[in-house]
Amino acid sequence: MCRRMSSARWSIGDAVMAVFGSPVARGDDAERAVRAALAIPRIIEQLNASSPHPDLEIHMAVNTGEAVVTIDPGSPDGDLLVAGDVVNTASRLQGAAPPGRVLIGEETFRATRRVIRSEPVPAVAAKGKREPIPAWVAIEALVPLAVRPAQMPFVGRDGESGLVRDIWSRAVAERRPHLVTILGEAGIGKTRLAEEFSFDVKETGGQAFHVRELPYEQSSGYETFVQLVHEVAGIFESDPNPVAMAKLEASLDHLGLADPALVQLLSVFARTPEAVADDRRSLFEAARRYVEALASTTGTLIVFEDVHWAHPSTLDLITSLAGRARDAPIVFLALARPELLDLRPAWG
Ligand SMILES: Nc1ncnc2c1ncn2[C@@H]1O[C@H](COP(=O)(O)OP(=O)(O)OP(=O)(O)O)[C@@H](O)[C@H]1O
Ligand SMILES: [Mg+2]
């Protein structure tokens, strides 16, 4: 839930509630909440497999709507108090959810239907409600986290697009990596420019990957590389570890990287339990071989979204790859708000 930017979590008896979109709404709060919920069964499965087999069962629901949120200014991590019908309804849905499944309410369904596949289930009759509550069961994400569905036509960015296209042509012609950074205030159109450009890249036979930093990331610091390796290998967050590991091995084999030491190192980026990340130099080296292999047969674009939130180790890794990858037609396109320069004045 932390990784998907929930701002608060607390427990009431054996129930846990998490709030997304407060104190700061990000427009995709419902989606992140459902993705977080879909990732939980795998964790429960791991817990149950561990000794002494706790035999846990989980019932989940996500509901969206208006609530009265009180932030406790005295608490160090800004404790939230949330009240409103949306909370009661979430609790009713949760009570009706089958084991291991995620029920979602109507507004959550509408907000996520283009990115998450859900199936309707019979409305939930609930105490204190005149009408049964319409409900869906969330099944799976339809697109990776960073991909947004199509929107309005793209206008008036010929200069910027032309610049990126020139750099791309050079990277492909010279088989040399390039790091391009687009800096700009929130909402200025960085993501959109990158999406349009990815589309062009794919149209012309190249491949494009989108990965995205998360503001409240509290993990190892390589979130975007985890996303990249997952996307390339077709690993889902809901995959049990042995499945994730098998997919990683198959993907590395396909890339011609079936060296056990390398598999071991790259499993850091697939977040499998064998992961070890104590040797940063070897890890960066493994990442370099990985992107070189990825780009060996075709021009490759990797878009790093929201780099101003990146962990310093990710910034180091991106710079290292851009400086060291050899014989690789690859463009790293970093998108960031200007505060990146507070973090790294010499970036780019
Ligand atoms: N050139 C453009 N033509 C049409 N629509 C655009 C254009 N640029 C941006 N938009 C639209 O404006 C909105 C904000 O743009 P976008 O999400 O790309 O901003 P951003 O710079 O990535 O912001 P953030 O820093 O918050 O990530 C989006 O809905 C996007 O589709
Ligand atoms: Mg953006």
**Per-residue pLDDT tens for 200-236?**
999 899 999 999 887 765 555 688 888 899 999 998 8
Question: Is pLDDT of 29 > 70?
Answer: yes
Residues 127-158: tens digit of each pLDDT: 888 899 999 999 999 888 777 665 566 777 88
Provide the pLDDT for residue 113.
86
What whole-number distance in Å separates Cα of residue 162 and Cα of residue 265? Answer: 38
Least confident residue range of 28-42, 48-62, 147-161, 264-278:
264-278
- Closest by alpha carbon to 95, among 137, 44, 60, 57? 60
Tokens of 66: 């208006």
Provide the pLDDT for residue 91.
93
Provide the pLDDT for residue 5.
56
Provide the pLDDT for residue 75.
63
Mean pLDDT (the chain) is: 87
Question: Which residues 6+ apart lie within 8 Å of 5 measured at CB?
Answer: 20, 26, 32, 214, 215, 216
- Given 108, 141, 174, the domain boundary residue is 141
Burial 130-144 (b: 16+ CB within 10 A, else e): eeebbbbbbeebeeb
Residues 200 and 306 in one domain: yes
Domain that holds residue 67: 8-141
Asked whether the CA dihedral 10, 15, 16, 20 is positive or negative, the reply is negative
Residues 103 and 169 in one domain: no
Which residue has the CA at smallest separation from atom 8 of ligand 1?
A: 189
Q: How many other C-beta atoms are found inside a 10 Å radius of the C-beta of residue 75?
A: 10
Residues 335 and 241 in one domain: yes
Residues 2-15: tens digit of each pLDDT: 555 566 566 677 88
Residues 95 and 174 in one domain: no
In a domain, 1, yes or no: no
Q: Please provide the size of the chain in residues.
A: 348
Assign 272 a pLDDT band (cuts: 50, 70, 90): low
Which residue has the CA at smallest separation from atom 1 of ligand 1?
A: 155
- Given 88, 115, 141, the domain boundary residue is 141
Q: Do 220 and 214 touch, CB atoms closer than 8 A?
A: no
Q: Do 40 and 60 touch, CB atoms closer than 8 A?
A: yes
What whole-number distance in Å separates Cα of residue 331 and Cα of residue 322? Answer: 8
Residues 112 and 183 in one domain: no
Which residue has the CA at smallest separation from atom 5 of ligand 1?
A: 154
Residues 180 and 322 in one domain: yes
CB of 155 shorter than 6 A to ligand 1: yes
Least confident residue range of 12-26, 34-48, 81-95, 116-130:
12-26
- Which of 114, 154, 161, 191 for a ligand 1 pocket mutation test, highest count of atoms within 8 Å of Cβ? 191
What whole-number distance in Å separates Cα of residue 269 and Cα of residue 225? Answer: 6
What whole-number distance in Å separates Cα of residue 245 and Cα of residue 19? Answer: 32
Cα–Cα distance list, 245 to 215, 221, 264, 326 (Å): 27, 20, 10, 27
Q: Do 257 and 293 touch, CB atoms closer than 8 A?
A: yes
CB of 192 shorter than 6 A to ligand 1: yes
Tokens of 226: 């985890």
CB of 288 shorter than 6 A to ligand 1: no
Which residue has the CA at smallest separation from atom 23 of ligand 1?
A: 187
Question: Regarding predicted confidence, which is higher, 301 or 17?
Answer: 301
Question: Regarding predicted confidence, which is higher, 28 or 122?
Answer: 122
Residues 56-111: tens digit of each pLDDT: 999 999 999 988 888 766 665 556 788 899 999 999 999 999 999 999 999 999 88
Residues 114 and 175 in one domain: no
CB of 148 shorter than 6 A to ligand 1: no
- Given 141, 174, 208, the domain boundary residue is 141
What whole-number distance in Å separates Cα of residue 141 and Cα of residue 161? Answer: 30
- Closest by alpha carbon to 168, among 290, 56, 298, 57? 298
Using a pLDDT cut of 70, give the percent of the chain over it: 89
CB of 150 shorter than 6 A to ligand 1: no
In a domain, 12, yes or no: yes
Q: Do 3 and 223 touch, CB atoms closer than 8 A?
A: yes
Question: Is pLDDT of 273 > 70?
Answer: no
Q: Do 337 and 184 touch, CB atoms closer than 8 A?
A: yes
> What's the structural domain count of the chain?
2
Question: Is pLDDT of 264 > 70?
Answer: yes
Provide the pLDDT for residue 70.
81
Provide the pLDDT for residue 98.
95
Question: Is pLDDT of 322 > 90?
Answer: yes
Provide the pLDDT for residue 140.
94
Which residue has the CA at smallest separation from atom 11 of ligand 1?
A: 189
The letter for the amino acid at 235 is I
CB of 347 shorter than 6 A to ligand 1: no
Residues 87 and 166 in one domain: no
Domain of 75: which CATH number? 3.30.70.1230
Provide the pLDDT for residue 155.
72
Asked whether the CA dihedral 267, 269, 272, 273 is positive or negative, the reply is positive
